[in-house]
A and B are shown apart, each in its own frame.
Chain A
Amino acid sequence: MSASPRTSKDRSQTEPTVVRWLLIAIAVTFLMLFLILPLAAVFSQAFDKGFTVYLDALREADTLSSIKLTVLTAAFCVPLNLFFGVTAAWAIAKFSFPGKNLLITLIDLPFSVSPVISGLIYVLIFGLQGWIGPWLQDHDIRIVFAVPGIILATIFVTFPFVARELIPLMEAQGREEEEAALVLGASGLQTFWRVTLPNVKWGIIYGVILCNARAMGEFGAVSVVSGHIRGMTNTVPLHVEILYNEYNYTAAFAVASLLAFLALITLVIKTIAEWKVQQQLQKN
Chain B
Amino acid sequence: MDIKKMTVTLATLALALSTSVTAFAATITLLNVSYDPTRELYADFNKSFAAYWKGKSGDTVTVKQSHGGSSKQARAVIDGLEADVVTLALAYDIDAIAEKGFIKQGWQKELPHNSSPYTSTIVFLVRKGNPKKIKNWDDLIKPGIAVITPNPKTSGGARWNYLAAWAYAAHQPGGNDAKAKEFVTKLLKNVPVLDSGARGSTNTFVQRGLGDVLLAWENEAFLAVNELGPDKFDIVTPPESILAEPPVTVIDKVVDRHGTRKVAAEYLKYLYTDEGQKIAAKHYYRPINTKIPTKLAKIKKLYTIDGAFGGWQKAQKTHFSDGGTFDQIYAPKK
Given contacts A229-B31, A245-B199, A246-B39, contact A133 B80 (CB under 8 A): yes
The answer to whether B79 touches A228 (Cβ under 8 A) is no
Q: Report how many A-B pairs have Cβ atoms within 8 Å.
A: 52
Q: Which of A105-161 contact B (CB under 8 A)?
A: 123, 126-130, 133, 137, 142, 144-145
Which listed residue (A128, A228, A247) contacts B80, Cβ 8 A?
A128
Which listed residue (A129, A144, A230, A244) contacts B65, Cβ 8 A?
A230
Interface residues on B, range: 20 to 34
Task: Say yes or no: is A232 at the interface (Cβ < 8 Å to chain B).
Answer: yes
Complex CA gap A133/B77 in Å reads 13
Given contacts A245-B36, A247-B224, contact A228 B68 (CB under 8 A): yes
Complex CA gap A247/B233 in Å reads 15
Given contacts A127-B79, A247-B228, contact A228 B66 (CB under 8 A): yes
Q: Which of B225-273 contact A (CB under 8 A)?
A: 227-228, 257
| B42 vs chain A, min Cβ distance (A) | 10
The answer to whether A245 touches B82 (Cβ under 8 A) is no
Residues in A with CB closer than 8 Å to B51 are none
The answer to whether A227 touches B81 (Cβ under 8 A) is yes
Complex CA gap A126/B76 in Å reads 12
Give the residue among A129, A230, A242 with the most B Cβ atoms within 10 A: A230
- Over the window 76-116 of chain B, the binary record of Cβ atoms lying under 8 Å from chain A Cβ atoms (1 yes, 0 no) is 10111110000000000000000010000000000000000
The answer to whether B76 touches A145 (Cβ under 8 A) is yes
| B228 vs chain A, min Cβ distance (A) | 6
Residues in B with CB closer than 8 Å to A145 are 76, 79-82
Residue of A nearest to B207 (CB): A249
Residues in A with CB closer than 8 Å to B257 are 137
| A46 vs chain B, min Cβ distance (A) | 16
Which listed residue (B36, B80, B100) contacts A144, Cβ 8 A?
B80
Complex CA gap A144/B76 in Å reads 10
Residues in B with CB closer than 8 Å to A142 are 80, 82
Residue of A nearest to B73 (CB): A228
Complex CA gap A232/B64 in Å reads 8
Residues in B with CB closer than 8 Å to A230 are 64-66
Residues in A with CB closer than 8 Å to B31 are 229
Which listed residue (B64, B80, B100, B227) contacts A137, Cβ 8 A?
B80
Task: Say yes or no: is B181 at the interface (Cβ < 8 Å to chain A).
Answer: no
Residues in A with CB closer than 8 Å to B9 are none
- Over the window 216-227 of chain B, the binary record of Cβ atoms lying under 8 Å from chain A Cβ atoms (1 yes, 0 no) is 000000011001
Complex CA gap A229/B29 in Å reads 12
Task: Say yes or no: is B67 at the interface (Cβ < 8 Å to chain A).
Answer: yes
Task: Say yes or no: is B321 at the interface (Cβ < 8 Å to chain A).
Answer: no
The answer to whether B65 touches A130 (Cβ under 8 A) is no
Which listed residue (B39, B64, B100, B224) contacts A231, Cβ 8 A?
B64
The answer to whether B228 touches A127 (Cβ under 8 A) is no
Complex CA gap A129/B199 in Å reads 29
The answer to whether B79 touches A123 (Cβ under 8 A) is yes
Residue of B nearest to A244 (CB): B203
Residue of A nearest to B79 (CB): A127
Complex CA gap A244/B81 in Å reads 24
The answer to whether B80 touches A127 (Cβ under 8 A) is yes
The answer to whether B80 touches A229 (Cβ under 8 A) is no
Residue of B nearest to A123 (CB): B79
Give the residue among B64, B80, B199, B203 with the most A Cβ atoms within 10 A: B80
The answer to whether B79 touches A128 (Cβ under 8 A) is yes
Complex CA gap A126/B39 in Å reads 28
The answer to whether A228 touches B67 (Cβ under 8 A) is yes
Complex CA gap A145/B80 in Å reads 7
Complex CA gap A126/B81 in Å reads 11
| B219 vs chain A, min Cβ distance (A) | 13
Given contacts A145-B81, A232-B64, contact A227 B76 (CB under 8 A): yes
Given contacts A128-B79, A144-B79, contact A229 B224 (CB under 8 A): no
Which listed residue (A130, A144, A227) contacts B66, Cβ 8 A?
A227
The answer to whether A245 touches B203 (Cβ under 8 A) is yes
Residues in B with CB closer than 8 Å to A229 are 31, 64-66
Give the residue among B64, B79, B224 with the most A Cβ atoms within 10 A: B79
The answer to whether A247 touches B64 (Cβ under 8 A) is no
The answer to whether A129 touches B78 (Cβ under 8 A) is yes
| A125 vs chain B, min Cβ distance (A) | 11
Residues in A with CB closer than 8 Å to B199 are 245
Residue of B nearest to A124 (CB): B79
- Over the window 10-40 of chain B, the binary record of Cβ atoms lying under 8 Å from chain A Cβ atoms (1 yes, 0 no) is 0000000000000000000001000010011
Task: List the 3 closest A-B pairs by CB distance, nearest first.
Answer: A128-B80, A127-B79, A247-B227
Mind listing 26 A-B residue pairs with CB under 8 Å?
Answer: A123-B79, A128-B80, A129-B79, A129-B80, A130-B79, A137-B80, A142-B80, A142-B82, A144-B79, A144-B81, A145-B79, A145-B80, A145-B81, A145-B82, A228-B68, A229-B64, A229-B66, A230-B65, A230-B66, A242-B67, A244-B203, A245-B36, A245-B199, A245-B203, A246-B40, A247-B227
Q: A127-B79, A230-B65 are in contact. List 7 more A-B contacts (CB 8 A).
A: A123-B79, A130-B79, A133-B79, A133-B80, A142-B80, A227-B76, A246-B40
